[in-house]
């Protein structure tokens, strides 16, 4: 593989980030790397590297947002911490610059509201957590909000809530590195769910 074409994936974490929102995509991208996809993944913390997640998991980010290396793909997860961040001008300015330098801007769940605040959902199709449609509409009045598992519109890919970030990340791995890589990633993750209850719940 051509080392000069390695892609970097930055996964943002912040106080109140929902755990599976970011660890699901992290697992997808790092598993793809393990099987040979030319990518590097790292976590980016706001405002600092020490993060307590929405459900209490304590994680230390690789970098702070202000000192993070360039990323080709930026992924913004959701969680209750997105609500104060959507109103935080300092964060909004910092993430807008970081997103603008990337090739791909992606989100999971209510992370879409942060993409919107940074101006990346203007006139685009997007999705979010089913229980947060009004929250996204508030921050994204000119966005076509769809009830889909994930939505790709130009350089922006948004996904529905929590576990949907896994599906979106598998799609992006397939798009960037080929279907074989995505299928092998999915197989190694044994991501062929058989939850005990069906969708009629």
Radius of gyration of the chain (CA): 16
Choice between 67 and 123, CB closer to a copy of itself: 67
The CB-of-155 to a copy of itself minimum distance in angstroms stands at: 18
Can you tell me which residue has the tokens 């769940």? 109
Write the interaction track for a copy of itself spanning residues 75-94; mark x where CB under 8 A is met and - where it is not: --------------------
**Mutual angle of helices 164-177 and 19-34, in 10-degree steps:** 30
The CB-of-18 to a copy of itself minimum distance in angstroms stands at: 8
Rounded CA separation 158/9 (Å): 15
Buried b (16+ CB within 10 A) or exposed e, 139-155: bbeebebbeeebbbbee
- Tell me whether strands 125-126 and 144-145 are parallel, antiparallel or unpaired: parallel
Sheet of 73-76: strand order equals: 63-64, 39-45, 7-13, 73-76, 104-108, 156-159, 150-153
Residues in the interface with a copy of itself (CB under 8 A) total 53
Q: What SS3 string covers 172-200?
A: HHHHHHCHHHHHHHHHHCCCCCCCCCCCC
The yes or no reply on residue 113 touching a copy of itself (CB under 8 A) is no
The yes or no reply on residue 19 touching a copy of itself (CB under 8 A) is yes
Among positions 163-182, residues that touch a copy of itself (CB under 8 A) are 163-164, 166-167, 170-171, 174, 179, 182
The CB-of-48 to a copy of itself minimum distance in angstroms stands at: 13
Among positions 115-174, residues that touch a copy of itself (CB under 8 A) are 129-131, 149, 160-164, 166-167, 170-171, 174
Among positions 48-77, residues that touch a copy of itself (CB under 8 A) are 55-62
Choice between 62 and 72, CB closer to a copy of itself: 62
53 assigned to active site: no
Most distant CA atoms of the chain, gap in Å: 48
> Which residue out of 109, 118, 132, 176 is catalytically annotated?
109
* Residues that bind a copy of itself in the complex, under the rule CB under 8 A: 18-20, 23-24, 26-27, 30-31, 33-34, 41, 43, 55-62, 129-131, 149, 160-164, 166-167, 170-171, 174, 179, 182-184, 186-197, 199, 201
Q: Where in the sequence numbering do the catalytic residues fall?
A: 109
């Amino acid at each position: 593989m051509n080392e000069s074409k390695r892609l970097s994936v930055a996964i943002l974490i912040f106080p109140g980030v929902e755990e599976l929102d970011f660890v699901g995509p992290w697992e997808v991208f790092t598993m793809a790397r393990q099987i040979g996809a030319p990518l590097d993944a790292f976590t980016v913390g706001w405002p600092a590297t020490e993060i307590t997640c929405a459900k209490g998991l304590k994680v230390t980010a690789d970098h702070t947002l202000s000192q993070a290396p360039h990323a080709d793909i930026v992924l913004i997860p959701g969680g209750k911490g997105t609500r104060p961040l959507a109103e935080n001008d300092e964060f909004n300015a910092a993430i807008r610059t970081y997103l603008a330098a990337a090739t791909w801007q992606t989100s999971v769940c209510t992370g879409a509201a942060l993409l919107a605040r940074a101006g990346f959902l203007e006139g685009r199709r997007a999705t979010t957590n089913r229980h947060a449609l009004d929250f996204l509409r508030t921050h994204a009045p000119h966005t076509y909000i769809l009830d889909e598992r994930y939505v790709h519109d130009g350089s922006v890919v948004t996904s529905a809530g929590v576990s949907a970030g896994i599906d979106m990340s598998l799609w992006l791995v397939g798009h960037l590195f080929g279907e074989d890589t995505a299928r092998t990633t999915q197989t190694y993750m044994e991501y062929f769910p058989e939850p005990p209850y069906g969708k009629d719940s």
